[in-house]
Structure 1
Amino acid sequence: MSAEAPAVSRSVVVAWRNAVFAVFAINGFALATWMSRVPAVRDALGASTAEMGWVVFSIAAGSIVGLSSASHVLAWVGSRRTIAAAVVVGCVGLSVVGLGSTLSTHGVFVVVGLALLGCGMGMCDVAMNVEGAAAERELGRTVMPLFHAAFSGGTIAGAALGALAEWADVSTAVHFGAIAVASVAALGVSVRFLHLDAQGFAGAGDDAAHPGWRERLSMWADRRTLLIGLIVLGMAFAEGSANDWLALAMVDGHDVSNSTGAVVYGVFVTAMTVGRVAGVFFLDRYGRVPVLWTTTVLAAGGLLIVIFAPWAGLATAGVVLWGLGASLGFPVGMSAAADDSRTATARVSVVATIGYFAFLVGPPSIGFLGDGVGLLHALLLVFALIIVAGFATPAARERA
């Protein structure tokens, strides 16, 4: 932050923090709305596992577009407008997915809608993490995992509502359209309390404090940034593979119903939420690196249980460990990327883009592998990336 920046009052910071909580929750709610109905969309389209891999690929491709352009858009119009526009675009995409999967058996509308959803959520992801990191610095304590816990809380609500909609046989058009309207309305209440200026810094005063576009691009050559990105890549794969495939893997691999698959996904996001809330205590007491090592072991062990468990109940216990282990990689990576407030926007954009590469490569790769060896065994690819992320954890160490 600039030396000339005016002090931010406590009440403003608290309102700012609460608004960031709301934005995270809205995004999680909208994303879980789609994730919880993946089996229903698959059935409506009559798609194979490999074909669903390509369908899900579209949300990842849209995310990469949103993520890679986010730091430049933030510098141009500010995070408040970026977040508002991104959420609206994402909700339009969600509505298109619902209409496309209800009124047509052709996947083109679903693909277009998912691309819009991914683009909006990808751009919003960078903006809300930059907002969260700045609010965390103003508060002077660890808060980022709690912001991501709000995201997980939103996914719990979205998954629960998705399971209810599946059980009640509500069409995806009605379900997704209603969620899109509710999300935009909630955003309208909270977005006015966001506090970053057009350059991504609260109350920043001089242009010299803001990196130009060349310096923003140079973050792609920074070793520490890339290693933090590798941590986020592995843990985003651990989280994203559950978002994309857990419900379907439980249905196809452990012979549960569609509604039970949605409930198991809800178990996963609940475990992630618990891990993020509890993680604040452990991060403040033990530091980033020991906590990340521990969560790596939990995620890897839980995933192996899910893959090789002989019955669904034991697999669900593995889902709990998987969720706890995957809970902190992304938020801790965002905090580590934002250690330097001056380059926080650019670094967060780079790290988030690397992390979301998991969403780009993961869905089709798991889909293709799943066609040959089954979805459960295809998740061994996720296990390998979790191990790689574990070895990169020293890069997230707190800076003196």
Structure 2
Amino acid sequence: MLLAALVGIAPIYIAIQAIPDGTGKNAADGTQHGEKGVPFYRDIQLLLIGVVVLAMAFAEGSANDWLPLLMVDGHGFSPTSGSLIYAGFTLGMTVGRFTGGWFIDRYSRVAVVRASALMGALGIGLIIFIDSAWVAGVSVVLWGLGASLGFPLTISAASDTGPDAPTRVSVVATTGYLAFLVGPPLLGYLGEHYGLRSAMLVVLALVILAAIVAKAVAKPDTKTQTAMENS
């Protein structure tokens, strides 16, 4: 699976390189926005947003692919119970997606992303370190709630934190999709050698890192936003 994922990256990279400059822009964009600014690989804020989406997409993808088996092999649940526990994760994801807008309207985007990452880290950590059926059931809901808003909020942050929004969004979206593509096979490889619970330490570390750098998704202040629009 890991080899197949790595092979799948090559066509994506080639396709991105083949897209002509200016694709998706109006003819007047060059006059309106001026220069694009620094290349994306030198844009520290964009790279940190990429770290956040990488971690949160990794957390979501790893649960989608491995959570039932993690419950069976790592905690001794039956296959049926493992699938039911996975339903708790999807419940958390659904609730997070439907209620996220309410929290974003009342708190900053940074606060919501950081709280989501910490909630996800708590859920993943409990699953890794605690042997308890009811703790596992609660933890997967926390995991789902924590992972639910990472991808959409980082896409939003990429679009309004700098010039050349289409390029910024494509970079962040591609990073997230690569995490979905490469992350689960990598965890499968680690799980085969060290066990799935130990493999999830990688996910836990990344989600904690996302909480640390969550300030990168902050909305620009009014003056900065006006300057970007008029540049």
Instruction: Provide TM-score, normalisation by structure 1.
Output: 0.49
- Among 163, 179, 182, the residue aligned to 1:358: 179
In 1, the alpha carbon distance for the partners of 2:154 and 2:137 equals: 27
Runs of 4+ in 1 over 4 A off after TM superposition: 70-73, 214-217
Give 1:373's aligned residue: 194
Distance 1:345 1:253 in 2: 42
Mapping 1:293-312, distance limit 5 Å? 293-312=114-133
Shift of 1:59: 4.4
1:332 aligns with 2:153: yes
Match of residue 101 from structure 2: 280
Deviations 1:167-195 (A, max 9, x none): xxxxxxxxxxxxxxxxxxxxxxxxxxxxx
Relative to 1, partners in 2 of residues 1:215 and 1:57: Cα closer, same or farther, differing over 3 Å?
farther
The number of residues matched between the two structures is: 220
What is the alpha-carbon distance in structure 1 between the residues aligned to residue 128 and residue 4 of structure 2? 26
Change (3 A) 1:386 1:209: farther
Query: 2: CA distance between counterparts of 1:242 and 1:341?
Result: 32
Partner of 2:8: 62
Cα distance in structure 2, aligned partners of 1:275 and 1:281 = 10
Aligned counterparts of 1:392 and 1:65: Cα–Cα separation in 2: 30
Segments of structure 1 that go 5 or more residues without pairing to the other structure are 1-54, 77-197
CA displacement at 1:245 relative to structure 2: 1.1
Alpha-carbon shift at residue 395 of structure 1 (Å): 0.9
Q: Which amino acid aligns with 1:62?
A: G
Residue 399 in 1 paired to residue 211 in 2? Answer: no
Matches within 5 A, 1:189-200: 199-200=23-24
Q: 1:233 to 1:252 in 2, by over 3 A?
A: same
Q: Sort the Cα spacing of 1:68 and 1:252 in 2 relative to 1 into closer, same or farther, 3 A.
A: farther
Check conservation: 1:67, 1:349, Cα contact below 8 A. Answer: no
CA contact (8 A) 2:71 2:82 kept: yes
Instruction: Report the Cα offset of residue 370 of structure 1.
Output: 1.4
Aligned to 1:115: none
Aligned letter for 1:385?
L
- What SS is found at the alignment partner of 2:77? coil
After superposition, residues 41-56 of structure 1 pair within 5 angstroms as: 55=1
Counterparts of 2:41 and 2:14 in 1: how far apart (Å)? 11
Aligned to 2:228: none
**Given the superposition, is the C-alpha separation of residues 304 and 61 from structure 1 closer, same or farther in structure 2, using an over 3 Å criterion?**
farther
In structure 2, the residue matched to 1:51 is: none
Identity %, equivalent residues: 45
Q: Establish whether residue 206 from structure 1 lines up as the match of residue 28 from structure 2.
A: yes
User: Whole-Å Cα distance in 2 between the matches of residues 312 and 210 of structure 1?
Assistant: 58
2:165 counterpart of 1:344:
yes
Quote how far apart the aligned CAs of 1:349 are. 1.4
For 2:198, give the aligned amino acid.
H
* Structure 1 residue 361: Cα displacement: 4.5
Task: Name the CA distance, whole Å, in 2 between partners of 1:333 and 1:64.
Answer: 24
Q: Which has the higher contact order (CA 8 A, sep 6+)?
A: 2
Distance change in 2, residues 1:346/1:304 (3 Å): same
What's the secondary structure of 1:282's corresponding residue? helix
Could you say what the CA RMSD is over the residues aligned between the two structures, in angstroms? 3.1
User: Distance between the aligned counterparts of 1:68 and 1:325, measured in 2?
Assistant: 33
Distance in 1 between residues matched to 2:98 and 2:31, nearest whole Å: 33
Structure 2 residues not aligned, in runs of 5+ = 222-231
SS of the aligned residue for 1:318 comes to: helix
